[in-house]
Amino acid sequence: MSATSNSTPARMGYRLPAEWEPHQAVWFSWPHNRESWPGKFETVEPVMTQAVAAIQQSETVRINVLDAAHEAHVRGVLAAHRVSTNNLLFHHFPTNDAWCRDHGAIFVVREQAGRRELAATHWDYNAWGDKYPPFDRDQEIPRRMAEALAVPRFEGGMVLEGGSIETNGAGTLLTTEQCLLNSNRNPGMSRAEIEQRLRDFLGVQTILWLGEGIVGDDTDGHIDDLTRFVAEDTVVTVVEDDPTDANYAVLQDNLRRLKTMRLPGGRSLNIINLPMPEPVIYDGQRLPASYANFYTGNTVVLTPVFNCAQDARALSILEQCFPGRRVVGIDCTDLVWGLGAFHCLTQQVPATGR
């Protein structure tokens, strides 16, 4: 069903929940585009099986595949790695690529008569500024996700990727100027107009802006490689310790901005520094490796690691941030050749009911 009322989701009581709130499921679009991982595609699916195995213990895993043959292939890959398919659902929803965080629906919730209800927001998608055509299949995925769940769908009417926004679930949203104000997204919209659209469709009130993203990020500065809420008033943010590193100045600027930001009521943010990993370089290209690209599941925090000394420190920090969850580090040195990691590959479906 598609929502046709002129009333916005916010006016109807919907809000964007924090990622640590309960999920009924997580959604993947299974990798199939070899051009996203040239020369390394064979290493991607084994990493995906580790992610599925970790998450499926506490939430259903929904997987978009191209067709029946692709489903059979994925089932075979999972079986070969001894991953159960008991808590998996497959959808024959063909995609152009695997980045479900950005092409998938962004789900909002509301409390209605003592029950939590779910709706999907469907935003325009242009493959990060028309960088990787075609993206026609990806544009249809939010509609198909909403139909599969039989929930209302609201069309946002502007380009927005899930990886470009981060919320505390209590009305505050973080994003970056490099991405949302980029002329390759919504050139006809002002900052004020973009902010209002976010308020109307995601039920947020306060929008906080960081500057630019890390080197190698083809998304033009997605927030999920930079700064993540881990509590209503607390963020982790990646910081580069080496002043000679190309990311140092950008991340210091973001840190300075965070220190001046205020939550509703005038509260400042609690800021926890996450290290940056050692540079990950492949075929002469600096890749956007970041510990901030973790996925917060019901019982696990799925965290990319990069086979370097900083891995242990990053995992320890996240363990302190999520004491009720198991922090699982999985080597993403090869996966990040596709220019993303676990948060980019996932989209949570909030829990409903009483």
The set of catalytic residues is: 344
Candidates 34, 32, 27; CA nearest to 70 is 32
Phi, psi of 74 (to 5 degrees): -65, -40
> Residue 297: CB partners within 8 Å, gap ≥ 6?
23, 26, 54, 55, 58, 59, 325, 348
Phi-psi region of 2 (alpha: psi -120 to 50; beta: other; left: phi over 0): beta
CB 59 within 8 A of CB 26: yes
Phi, psi of 98 (to 5 degrees): -100, 0
Candidates 339, 346, 243; CA nearest to 290 is 339
Amino acid at 301: V
CB 103 within 8 A of CB 125: yes
Could you tell me whether strands 206-210 and 227-231 are parallel, antiparallel, or unpaired per DSSP bridges? unpaired
User: CA-to-CA distance for 144 and 148, rounded, in angstroms?
Assistant: 6
